[in-house]
Amino acid sequence: MSRMEPRLRLINGMMHDNPLLMICPGCGDRLKIENETARSNANYYIAERNIKCNKCGLKIRQYIYILRG
């Protein structure tokens, strides 16, 4: 395990806790997470996930950049 792993778990937790990131822009239904990863760069953390709407079939690849502080 690297020193970064607890911070990356925190990023994933923040993504799960934000309900606005999980609403389908097409139909307004709740999105389902298919895949989720987090990695770091020298200046920021990157959280990436693939999400899908089971109702309308919309697929989204979402990237969230968080500045290191």
- Higher pLDDT: 55 or 9? It is 55
Domain 5-67, classified CATH 2.20.25.420, yes or no: yes
Q: How far apart are the first and last CA of the chain?
A: 21
- Higher pLDDT: 20 or 40? It is 40
Name the residue with tokens 């089971």: 54
Helix, strand, coil shares of the chain as percentages rounded to 5? 25, 45, 30
Domain boundaries defined on the chain: 5-67
Overall pTM > 0.75: no
pLDDT in tens, 21-64: 788 999 999 999 898 888 888 888 888 889 999 999 999 998 88
Q: Is the pLDDT of residue 2 over 70?
A: no
Average pLDDT over residues 13-28: 77
Task: Give residue 4's pLDDT.
Answer: 47
